[in-house]
Every structure is written in C-alpha cells, then in structure tokens.
Amino acid sequence: MNPSDEFFTPPPAGGETGNAANAVEKIWPYVQAAVELTARTLTRDYDQREDLIAEAWKVLWSKDASRCNVQDQEDLRNLRKILINRMRNYAESRAMKMNDAEGRLPEDLVRLLA
C-alpha cells in the first residue's frame, strides 16, 4: 500500500469506488489553481508547464480520486501536496529550468497551497 493513500477517506464498506473519470472531473476544480500556480512557479516555459500539468492529471488518474472527499479540507490539502510534490519531482527529474534561484519550489508557497 502506498503511504500517500492513507490520506484519503477510506473507500465505501463494500470496497467499491466510483468512476475514475467522473471523480477526476469532480476534483479538478479543487486542485486546478494549486497545480497551475505550481507549474508557473517551477518553469517559465509554456511546454514544460503543460507537461507538469499533465503529470498532475496522471497522478489524479492513478490515485483513486473517488476516495477524495471534496467536502473534507484535509483530503483536499493532502491531494494538493501529493500533486505538488509529484510535479516538483518530475521537474527535477527532467532538469527543467526553474524560476527561482535554488531551483526548488519555495517552502512558503507549498505551505500556502496546502
């Protein structure tokens, strides 16, 4: 079990979860601003920003987004952290040109978005 899965609301008693496509579409508006701001913070290049946003979408698809309760701020905060960290790791692994001097997302921005 992935440790990040522990952050989400447990699945229904029967173990069933919802339709992934519907869940991703439902959750996207709650994380979109954080994802786009993170992408703009990490790189100035438009194509690289689009790659970072696509990476966030991949994470949403790979996680069972139907387990994230949009009414629970803790669930949303943890999902944003997962997405931001994955985007940062992706940017670092691709050696993208970063906007800030150290080449890392400022910690105060991470706290603000969380």
What are the domain boundaries of the chain? 19-113
Q: What secondary structure letter does DSSP report for 16?
A: -
How much is the pLDDT for 63?
78
Q: Which helix (H) or strand (E) holds 112?
A: helix 107-113
What averages of pLDDT result for each successive group of 10 residues across the chain (114 residues)? 52 57 84 95 91 93 80 90 93 71 62 72
Give the CA angle between residues 98, 34, 61 to the nearest 5°: 100
Check if the beta carbon of residue 98 is closer than 8 Å to that of residue 52.
no
Q: What is the pTM of this model?
A: 0.68
Dihedral (CA of 55, 79, 10, 12) sign: negative
Q: Mapping DSSP to helix (H, G, I), strand (E, B) and coil, where does residue 10 land?
A: coil
How much is the pLDDT for 84?
94
Check if the beta carbon of residue 101 is closer than 8 Å to that of residue 68.
no
85 vs 87: CA distance, rounded Å: 5
Residue type, 5: D
How much is the pLDDT for 69?
83
Q: Which residues of 90-111 are buried (b: 16+ CB within 10 A; e: fewer)?
A: bbeeeebebeeeeeebeeeebe
